[in-house]
Amino acid sequence: MFSRSIFAGLGLWLLAGLTGLGSGPAEAQARQQGWTLCNRTSYVIEAAVARYEGQGVVVDGWKRLRPGACELALAGELKPGVHYLFGRSSTAHRGGRKIWGGDFPLCVDSSGSFSVESPQDCSAMGLEPRDFRPVLVENKSSWRTSFTETEDFSAAESAAAGVQRLLADAGVFNGNIDGNIGRKTRTAIGEFLSQNNLPAETSDDDLIDVLEQIAQERGRNIGMTLCNRTRNRIWSAIARRRGEGWESRGWWMLESGGCARVIDEPLLTAEHFVFAEMEEDGKLRTLKNAADPFCVARVRFAILGRKDCEASAYRTGLFKATPPAENRRLMYEFFERDFAEADS
């Protein structure tokens, strides 16, 4: 969700481990003229903004926001009225990308920084559609919009929770992501700094940057990743053996060209299955040669067992077996050719 609020960003100062919380650069940045974005989540966020200019809508991205930080997305005097905002979590985070958006489609370049007047047909310019949220800017001098989570983090709590989440993503922390720096978090930070030959006085920003880089590298080497190589949006799910039984889990929304890491641990030799539905012209196309039944739900789900789905208020979906994992990891790519034609 988004919320509009004013807050002072507080950083994590790591002195001889972690000694306390102090003022950071976010407060000064927030006073600058223009549209400021603040991150009050535990995720590193990449944001894109859009505004009307002439007869079109100009889209700019990506502005990287560390947890707890504020950054100026549009500098200078603003034109009061509707603007647009989209956010996505860093690929360093486990469980697939978290999206902050709405229902207004605009074109973006997912591969890197860009500034473009959004065309009617994104693919004609090698761009991809994303659903932005409208934001009503009411002041021409300055405006501020915050990314938030279900948890109502302060700026300091957001920064602390961000470090906790990235420590977990990097595989060195298994505690709660709560924004409270306790003994377990301090120990994990100290071990991480020591393992990576970093000084105890490493700043909070540098710590987050190094953690993000290592978490991204770790994610490329373990688990299961689903990638969308089609021109359309895909809704995906997975199934696998869990202990003596079966588990199905979903949903992951995959935009065109997007990927999601859906299993964040080294894969065993057990079978894995995928389910996918592709949106095209208001209709759904399903996977060809999908013959293995598992339970799915209308909303996000994790279901144990694969029998009597309808009796438990689920529905039965047909999944497709994946190739075996190699080196305890697997990337599964969905192509146009993998989907049956939609029913007329």
CA dihedral 237, 91, 167, 272 (to 10 degrees): 30
Question: Is 343 contained in some domain?
Answer: no
Q: Of 63 and 343, which is predicted with more confidence?
A: 63
Residue 117 CB neighbour total at 10 angstroms: 14
Given a contact cutoff of 8 angstroms between Cβ atoms, the answer to whether 321 and 266 are in contact is no
Share of the chain above pLDDT 90, in %: 60
Q: What are 16's two structure tokens?
A: 């001889």
Question: Is 344 contained in some domain?
Answer: no
Q: Is the pLDDT of residue 55 over 60?
A: yes
pLDDT tens track for 129-167 = 899 999 999 999 999 999 999 989 999 999 999 999 999
* Domain that residue 20 falls in: 1-221
**pTM score of the predicted model:** 0.67
Q: Where are the alpha helices (DSSP H) in the chain?
A: 26-30, 155-169, 183-195, 204-221
Task: Pick the last residue of a domain from 221, 243, 262.
Answer: 221
Question: Is 143 contained in some domain?
Answer: yes
Is residue 71 located within the same domain as residue 161? yes
Q: How many domains does the chain have?
A: 2
What's the CA gap between 239 and 273, in Å, rounded?
5
Task: Pick the last residue of a domain from 171, 191, 221.
Answer: 221
Q: Span 62-86, mean pLDDT?
A: 96
Question: Is 33 contained in some domain?
Answer: yes
Is residue 69 located within the same domain as residue 144? yes
Q: How far is CA 142 from the centre of its chain?
A: 27
- pLDDT for position 222: 75
Given a contact cutoff of 8 angstroms between Cβ atoms, the answer to whether 278 and 334 are in contact is yes
Question: Is 279 contained in some domain?
Answer: yes
Question: Is 62 contained in some domain?
Answer: yes
Q: Where are the alpha helices (DSSP H) in 287-332?
A: none
Task: Pick the last residue of a domain from 187, 221, 255.
Answer: 221
What's the CA gap between 262 and 241, in Å, rounded?
15
What's the CA gap between 20 and 27, in Å, rounded?
18
Q: Of 293 and 218, which is predicted with more confidence?
A: 293
Q: What are 236's two structure tokens?
A: 């995906």
Is residue 177 located within the same domain as residue 256? no
Is residue 245 located within the same domain as residue 148? no
pLDDT tens track for 18-35 = 222 223 344 444 457 999
Given a contact cutoff of 8 angstroms between Cβ atoms, the answer to whether 229 and 334 are in contact is yes
Is residue 3 located within the same domain as residue 118? yes
Q: Is the pLDDT of residue 268 over 80?
A: no
Cα–Cα separations (whole angstroms), residue 325 to 248, 268, 269, 330: 18, 8, 7, 5
Is residue 102 located within the same domain as residue 194? yes
pLDDT tens track for 166-200 = 999 888 999 999 999 999 999 999 999 999 999 99
- pLDDT for position 31: 58
Q: How confident is the model at residue 218 (pLDDT cuts 50, 70, 90)?
A: confident
Question: Is 1 contained in some domain?
Answer: yes
| DSSP three-state, residue 75 | strand
Given a contact cutoff of 8 angstroms between Cβ atoms, the answer to whether 29 and 36 are in contact is yes
Q: Span 105-115, mean pLDDT?
A: 89
Is residue 217 located within the same domain as residue 230? no
Is residue 148 located within the same domain as residue 85? yes
Question: Is 103 contained in some domain?
Answer: yes
